[in-house]
Amino acid sequence: MLLASAGAGLVDAIVGGGGLIIVPSLFGLFPQAVPATLLGTNKAASIWGTGWSAWQYARQVRLPSARLLGAIMAAMLGGLIGAWLATLVPATRFRVALPVVLVAVWLYTLWRKDMGRHHLPHWRPRTEALLATAIGALIGFYDGIFGPGTGSFFVFALVRLLGWDFLHASAAAKRLNFATNVAALAWFIPHGHVVWALALPMAVANVAGSMVGTRLALRHGAGFVRVAFLVVVGALICKTSWDAYGLAG
């Protein structure tokens, strides 16, 4: 479990998608556990790696922090609303639609070979702030109600809509993902859905993986992050397709 947590931290630090590793591991090892408790335990562990990565990126990558503030608040609010609705609305439709959306994202990124290689913001500050806030609210809501691939969706949206490169987008995605994790834990912790005896050692491993992943991304730049994005989204397509169609068949 600690190895899975470290691997998730490494992948998450580069481009998001660490849940692809850690969540199936938790469900596989503890099949009788309440799903909300496993998800809460995952959040309680992964938030430390996400926070560490966000801090490291902040020291090396210059971001328009004031313009991201609205996005961070919107991501938290969206995450809270999504977590609440997750108890009322079945996730079946999201599970079936997700592989299709991920395939579209993967193909578009592969087709646009220059997308995200250069940092070329093309909106006025106010417009960029409004777009970032909309991204935070929409994907934050998705993270609360369903979740897989949240970090990768943040990266893609920031690259495609704001004209950022993959490195800047990944750095910003860490802040936004940290906010959605805080929002989710605000619901999970009071309701007793965190196993701290498991979450704390997982958190240490997650931070260790995050340290390695952040260094790799900062050392090799946007081109490396773009390749990692394609690999992670490709893996997400396989995993979510199996979950949506393989077992159902």
pLDDT in tens, 110-147: 888 777 678 888 889 999 999 999 999 999 988 877 77
Q: Is it the case that residue 185 has pLDDT exceeding 60? A: yes
**Where does the chain have alpha helices with state H?**
2-15, 19-29, 35-60, 65-86, 92-111, 125-145, 150-162, 166-188, 196-241
Region 175-195 average pLDDT:
89
Q: Over the Cα atoms of the chain, what is R_g?
A: 17
Least confident of 46-60, 61-75, 83-97, 138-152: 83-97
**Mean predicted lDDT score pLDDT of the chain:** 86
Region 81-98 average pLDDT:
71
Is residue 164 within 8 A of residue 158, CB to CB? The reply is yes
Q: What is the pLDDT of residue 26?
A: 81
How far apart are the C-alpha atoms of 217 and 53, rounded to whole Å?
10
Is residue 13 within 8 A of residue 232, CB to CB? The reply is no
What letters, b where the CB count within 10 A reaches 16 and e where it falls short, cover 214-246?
beebbeeebebbbebbeebbeebbebbbebbee
How far apart are the C-alpha atoms of 147 and 234, rounded to whole Å?
17
Q: What percent of the chain has pLDDT over 70?
A: 94
How far apart are the C-alpha atoms of 149 and 161, rounded to whole Å?
18
pTM of the model: 0.85
Q: What is the pLDDT of residue 92?
A: 62
Per-residue pLDDT tens digits for 155-178? 999 999 999 999 999 999 999 999
Task: Read off the pLDDT band of 94 (50, 70, 90).
Answer: low
Q: What is the pLDDT of residue 242?
A: 83
